[in-house]
Chains A and B, each alone.
Chain A
Amino acid sequence: MAKIAALITPQTKGGGKRFAVTAEVLAIVKLIQDLAPTGIALVKSLLDRMTGKTDEEIAALAHSINQQTQAEIAAAESELPK
């Protein structure tokens, strides 16, 4: 990180400031560009997990639906001739 900071630290030249653009800086920019889609997907996935239901809530819902189904089946089977 210190190396990156040093690379993009403004350098004084002729009274003005400018950034030193080296091959390494360009490589870092390229790396960030390459990683961006993955990063966006990860952030989206994390947001989905944060705003959606928790695993426990989903599990409780699934159990509830399965119990309801089993109750409906038991009721239907009780009406069938033995």
Chain B
Amino acid sequence: MKNLAIAVVLIAAVTIAGCTYHDALVLAKDAASDNQAFAEGTIKAHADGFVDDTTERRLLDVSNRIAKDDDAVVTALTGHKDVTGALAHLDLGIAEIDDAIQNGLAFIKNDGKKAEIHALLLALRGTLVTAKALLTK
């Protein structure tokens, strides 16, 4: 009976640990989609004249760095399960989003467009924060 209980606990622990990586990976994939929506939203806002060239360049630079960080997270989680590396890149991505919210949104002229891009950034931030929470639990 004791051996059975130990086996059940071990199977549960292995399964839950496996799910953590898997779920974090799914969230990293979702973050890639969120980031694409953010980049496309910025490009559209620029094309419609709501974002000037400098702001578009700044926001797209943020999106580009997030795409690279997200790729690094995916690589870390699929290879040798490098949680420390994945967390470091998640932190970088979150910091870049915070910087964009603090310094990049102010230059968007239209309040509606500003709110739209802010919402896209917050959705992306939420996905990254959830992935981080999964890996640190």
Residues of A within 8 A of B (CB): 1, 3-4, 35, 38, 42, 45-46, 49, 55-56, 58-59, 61-63, 65-66, 68-70, 72-73, 76-77, 80-81
**CB-based contact B36/A62 at 8 Å:** no
Residue from the list B35, B53, B78 in contact with A55, Cβ < 8 A: B78
Tell which of B4, B36, B75 has the most Cβ of chain A within 10 Å: B36
Number of interface residues of B (CB under 8 A): 37
**CB-based contact B22/A72 at 8 Å:** no
Residue from the list B26, B40, B78 in contact with A56, Cβ < 8 A: B78
B68-104 CB contact bits vs A (8 Å, 1 = yes)? 1011001101100000000000000000000000000
**CB-based contact A73/B63 at 8 Å:** yes
Residues of B within 8 A of A (CB): 1, 4, 8, 11-12, 15-16, 18-19, 21-22, 25-26, 28-29, 32-33, 35-36, 39-40, 43, 46, 53, 56-57, 60, 63-64, 67-68, 70-71, 74-75, 77-78
